Amino acid sequence: MSQCLNPECLTINPDNFQFCQKCGDKLLLVERYWAKSILGQGGFGRTFLAVDEFKPSKPFCVIKQFLPQAQGTETVAKAAELFAQEAERLELLGKHPQIPELYAKFTADSRQYLVQEFIKGETLQQELDNHGVFNESQIRELLIDLLSVLQFVHSHNVIHRDIKPENIIRREADKKLVLVDFGSAKVIPKNQGLTVTGTVIGSAKYSAPEQSMGKANSGSDLYSLGVVCLHLLTQMTQFDLYDVMESKWVWRDYLNGNFVSDELGKILDGLVEQKPKQRYQNVENVLADLKLSSYAVSTTQKNQQFSRNFVSNNVPLVSARGVNYEKLHDLLAEANWKEADEETERCILKVARRVQEGWLRIEDIDNFPCEDLCIINQLWVKYSNGKFGFSVQKRIYQSVGGTREYDRQIWEAFCNKVGWNQRGKWLYWDNLTFSLDTHFIGHLPVGMRPQWERDYNIKSYLVQRFLEFNI
């Protein structure tokens, strides 16, 4: 099939037709490119997926057609200038492996065109819509990947000015993040520094305050990247995450159980600081702090593992009550989450010596050995890469104000965050999500399977007990 490029037609035609069967326009652009379908449309133009007939493999490419939506001679002239400048910027920056390469720029049938590399993959917005919120590990990887791209862009005295999830594609071939759409980017004269006063441009949801006043700088790109991270962590917009009345960010209130360490939280706060002078000034400073925070988190985890005598694959799992944890270890190592949760319950009952009864009393929880709780927790944390485990649930419980005193509202808030209560309904065990794909951090282990409406008091007491342990 071939897509007509006439903006007033856009008819889909059968293959091998040379002219549009409706409007009669020629379909093969400059005797080389067949447009196949519309990819999208913005304020300055429309993009098409196309095939390059000149190359033996006939690879896909992207055609961008200048098609301003704004009215008025001055506005259209400005749009044409920005469209032409995009070609210059792509030619300057497109040699970076994570920026689309410019193939051609020309005018045909009185319309301007750019042809550039096609990046096959999902945008971050599509990933969010299809797979749910990102976790801390994903955000760290995203920052490291994209900051290196921004470092390259800024080193050429260019600011992007439109960083948003829709303009970041995870390339299918190598999973690298690719920054696209340089239609709003700006080249800054070297003697001017990376600050520019000019057109108000970019997406309002992700734009820094100074950019909204036409005074974008390199820090504006960092601000937008920070807001992207907050959106991916919460699925909320900047307008929801910033309290205008209090003049402060409240993004932590919308994590819904998605754990973010203090170290990463401080970096995100530094990226989205409203006052430019108090924000990160350059990419290098953010990368340095990321490296330090990663080292701090890694060191803390190693020290905790050493101090608690947590086991490796080569060291026996030593229980205070003689319980064998090898089966639990193997199930978790194989990512058999449902069976592992059943085995966790069996282990807990064995430790409490309540196998025949099949349930726990409050005194059983009070006397539960710390060593065994730590072993179970360490195995869950290790094989879920920090997404599941008693220690994860403990942090979430504390984040909603949980203490050793039972409070129904706090307990329900905790259950909402870990996904045990969804849309006001308590989930039975069989209805839980036994997969790492769940967007609920701390969703597992359940440990003891209550019939939610009847037994949640005992379950809440077990979670409260975590506060007494150094897990």
Annotated active-site residue 407? The verdict is no
| CA 292/CA 286 separation, integer angstroms | 10
CA-based Rg of the chain, rounded to a whole angstrom? 27
Among 393, 387, 391, 382, CA closest to 332: 382
**Most distant CA atoms of the chain, gap in Å:** 84
Closest to 329 (Cα-Cα) out of 383, 371, 368: 383
Q: List all residues 6 or more positions away from 227 whose beta carbon is below 8 Å from its beta carbon.
A: 205, 206, 238, 241, 272
Task: Measure the CA angle with vertex 429, ends 425 and 435; round to 5°.
Answer: 100
Answer whether the bond into residue 445 is a cis peptide, omega within 30°: yes
Which residues in 139-154 are b (16+ Cβ under 10 Å) and which e? bbebbebbbebbebbb
Residue 197 Cα to chain centre, angstroms: 31
Distances (CA, A) of 80 to 62, 66, 76, 282, 387: 19, 7, 6, 31, 48
Cβ atoms of 160 and 150 closer than 8 Å: yes
**Strands, E assignment, 118-269:** 121-123, 158-159, 168-171, 177-179, 186-187, 242-243, 248-249
Which helix or strand (DSSP H or E) is residue 65 part of?
strand 60-66
**CA–CA separation, 326 vs 310, rounded Å?**
14
Active-site entry in 52, 162, 221, 364: 162
How far is CA 55 from each of CA 183, 294, 388, rounded to the nearest angstrom?
A: 27, 45, 50
9: helix, coil or strand? coil
The DSSP H or E segment spanning 455 is helix 452-465
Give CA–CA dist 411/309, Å, rounded: 31
Which one, of 223, 115, 248, lies nearest residue 164 by Cα? 223
The DSSP-derived string for 363-430 is HHHHT--HHHHHHHHHHHHHHTTTSSSHHHHHHHHHHTT--SS--HHHHHHHHHHHTSEETTEEPPGG
Residue where the block lists tokens 């920026």: 99
Which are the catalytic amino acids? Answer: 162
